[in-house]
Each structure stands twice: as structure tokens, then as C-alpha cells.
Amino acid sequence: MTKQLSPAARAVRDAVLATYADNIPKDDSLWALERASTVAALRAAADQIVIKLAGLGQESAWYLEEIATELEAQ
């Protein structure tokens, strides 16, 4: 990992890696496989928040986008 993750980004990363069985090493190589789909899912969720709440969820959407951008740079 190149830089320390924020608590929110770390929680997302850890949750994704926790979906794997205990006998699979949860290291940077596994995260490299999951990063793109996790980032895409966060961005899609951000878009849906804005659509569903007619703009009222914009701050929440920005927060998800920030997490996605941070994870993408990982």
C-alpha cells in the first residue's frame, strides 16, 4: 500500500476482503483484484443517491466519491 487509508476507506476495503474465506490471504494482491469493482460500486451508489433523493443526498454522494477516489489511488 502506498499511503495510509482514512478510516472510512479502510472499512470499505476490509469489508470487501472479509467476504473471502479464512484460508485465503487477505493481502495487497487480493485487493488489487477487487479494487476496480469496489470503486465502480461506490461510484454507482453515489449516482443513485443523487437520483433517488433528487439532489438532497449530494453530500453523501460526494463522501462516497471521496472514498472511491482514495481507494482507486491505492
Please report the pLDDT score of residue 11 as a whole number.
96
Distance CA 18, CA 30 (A): 11
pTM: 0.82
Distance CA 4, CA 49 (A): 27
> Higher pLDDT residue, 69 or 49?
69
Residue 69 · residue 14 · CB < 8 Å: no
Please report the pLDDT score of residue 2 as a whole number.
53
Question: Domain boundaries in the chain?
Answer: 7-15+28-72
Please report the pLDDT score of residue 1 as a whole number.
44
Distance CA 24, CA 49 (A): 34
Distance CA 70, CA 2 (A): 11
